[in-house]
Amino acid sequence: QNPRLVAMSLPALALLGLEVPAADPAAAEAEAALFFSGNRVLAGAEPAAHCYCGHQFGSFAGQLGDGAAMYLGEVLGPRGERWEIQLKGAGITPFSRQADGRKVLRSSIREFLCSEAMFHLGIPTTRAGTCVTSDSKVVRDIFYDGNPKNERCTVVLRIASTFIRFGSFEIFKPPDEYTGRKGPSVNRNDIRIQMLDYVIGTFYPEIQEAYSDNTIQRNAAFFKEITKRTARLVAEWQCVGFCHGVLNTDNMSIVGLTIDYGPFGFMDRYDPEHVCNGSDNTGRYAYNKQPEICKWNLGKLAEALVPELPLEISQLILEEEYDAEFERHYLQKMRKKLGLIQLELEEDSKLVSELLETMHLTAGDFTNIFYLLSSFSVDIDPSKFENFLDELTSQCASVEELKVVFKPQMDPRQLSMMLMLAQSNPQLFALIGTKANINKELERIEQFSKLQQLTADDVLSRNKRHWKEWLEKYRVRLQKEIESVGNADAWNAERVKVMNSNNPKYILRNYIAQNAIEAAENGDFSEVRNVLKLLEHPFQEAEGLQEVREDAEEEGASATAAVCSQDTRSRQPYCSKPPLWASELCVT
């Protein structure tokens, strides 16, 4: 009812050959709201929902499918590229099960903004063309705590070369030995052959051409390529601190895209065990587990391709290719983030791990510390070095922030009972808790206790000591770069340029999305649009950023709204360390 446009991404819509005429933008917005709410079907569209299965949190869930996404068809873009388009949240599909097929404003804004943010960060992703909300309402219990509320039905136009997933090939799975569930197309190898022919012929044409006379070799080459693409994708995630949150096999793209933005999150304070999904009680999809989980998911894809690709071939490919490709791409990207552009030394891996360890020890902001490092130079004078150190440590958590982070979450009596239960009745304990959760709580208690004894000066001097130690190692490594070049000034200019195009100043932090969501829920879509502009230029040196500032001024909006939007609760620019309340946000 009464659909209206929240925001549109002009670069994404341009893929489909769509643009907003300058003469009548209001009419274009109304038309977008009409068609991309699903209220009017595009000419030539054949709405359908995709059937797939999946391993969810490690267990085979059987048939799933698009329960809230409606495939409209394929668009031939102006450059001759083919794009599948989907409406997510447009209502019931054959795979909605007991749900209503709807999405709400908060989740849709998050998916819309993050799809475009990832693209502009240079990370393979599905795209989002529009976000359209309405007066139609559905009831949602956001935190699954018995406090439901009415929320606005909202639809996102998603765009990708294909939405086929690893789980698409799991529809052939025979009864699972653990869950007993099976796919809906057991023994239909004819469909598996059809799907492989389609996927490889359409999205991997060079492989189809090279192995047209040998199906096994063709399928092996395809599996090798998706293994390497997935490894590179996860390496990219790790290098910007992105956590997907729900890395089930049905959320893994068959062409190596980031797909299905749910309870994702970009890390603020660096924590290798960061879990962005409030529903992930065991931490299965924690930040540091993403590489191994994606490898596990590729193993499930390998199983799903049998007999068209024998398991002994695919498993060998997985073992030989995945880890090596991940490490290679990760280190290559990290070298760029650190400005190591001349030499590739074995010691670089250690330098990176020591940087991350220093970030962890000082609770440093992942994005902002990387961003600041381009200001560091080998011959920095002592007074400027102290200023740099002050700036760096200002991006580390304060005592107050650490107390919020390590605040114990269990009632002491509950913890005592759980500890006793773990000893006396492990079977019952396994139903209501995990050892990892208990250990995490004990660690929180220990850290919280230590923090009570520390002053702000104690933390600051400790942090400065840690950073001085690492910066000296970094200085020595940069010196080796200088010694290998003829022109140190030209090298330094190139180093800074490379760093500034690999270390974003702006990412979609949860609290930035939350500000935009709260404004939109109150009928003000301007913040969503401002944040979108911001995320289209995540690097300070990005070409065209000045134009965004000038356009914003011309339109009567303040320049800072488009480039460094203000947080209404804390009045902080979006390029600064997040406010204290941000650490308490929970996304399920």
The Cα 563–Cα 457 span in angstroms is: 33
Report the DSSP pairing between strands 149-160 and 242-243: unpaired
Angle 119-283-352 from CA coordinates, rounded to 5°: 60
Residue of 145, 140, 125 lying closest to 9 (CA atoms): 125
The Cα 466–Cα 457 span in angstroms is: 14
Please say whether the beta carbons of 436 and 283 come within 8 A: yes
Please say whether the beta carbons of 93 and 66 come within 8 A: yes
The Cα 310–Cα 61 span in angstroms is: 24
Q: Is 270 helix (H, G, I), strand (E, B) or coil?
A: coil
Q: How far is CA 36 from CA 29, 132, 156, in A?
A: 10, 7, 7
DSSP 51: -
Letter string b/e over residues 236-264, b meaning 16 or more CB atoms within 10 A of that residue's CB: bbbbbbbbbbbbbbbbbbbbbbbbbbbbb
**Looking at this protein, which amino acid is placed at residue 514?**
Q
Q: Which two tokens stand for residue 178?
A: 């653990």
Beta-ladder partners of 139 = 150
The Cα 537–Cα 120 span in angstroms is: 7
Q: Is 278 helix (H, G, I), strand (E, B) or coil?
A: coil
Q: List the catalytic residue out of 66, 250, 365, 567.
A: 250
Would you list the DSSP string of 288-301?
GGHHHHHHHHHHHH
The Cα 456–Cα 152 span in angstroms is: 44
CA 587 to chain CA mean position, Å: 13
The Cα 280–Cα 270 span in angstroms is: 19
Q: Is 139 helix (H, G, I), strand (E, B) or coil?
A: strand
Residue 250 designated active-site:
yes
Q: In a 10 Å sphere around its CB, with 0-12 CB exposed, 13-18 middle and 19+ buried, how is residue 202 labelled?
A: middle
Residue of 120, 89, 132 lying closest to 525 (CA atoms): 132
> In sequence order, what are the residues at sequence separation of 6 or more whose Cβ sits closer than 8 angstroms to the Cβ of residue 145?
none
Q: Which two tokens stand for residue 358?
A: 């220093």
The Cα 563–Cα 565 span in angstroms is: 6
Residue of 403, 407, 398 lying closest to 459 (CA atoms): 398
Residues designated as active site: 250
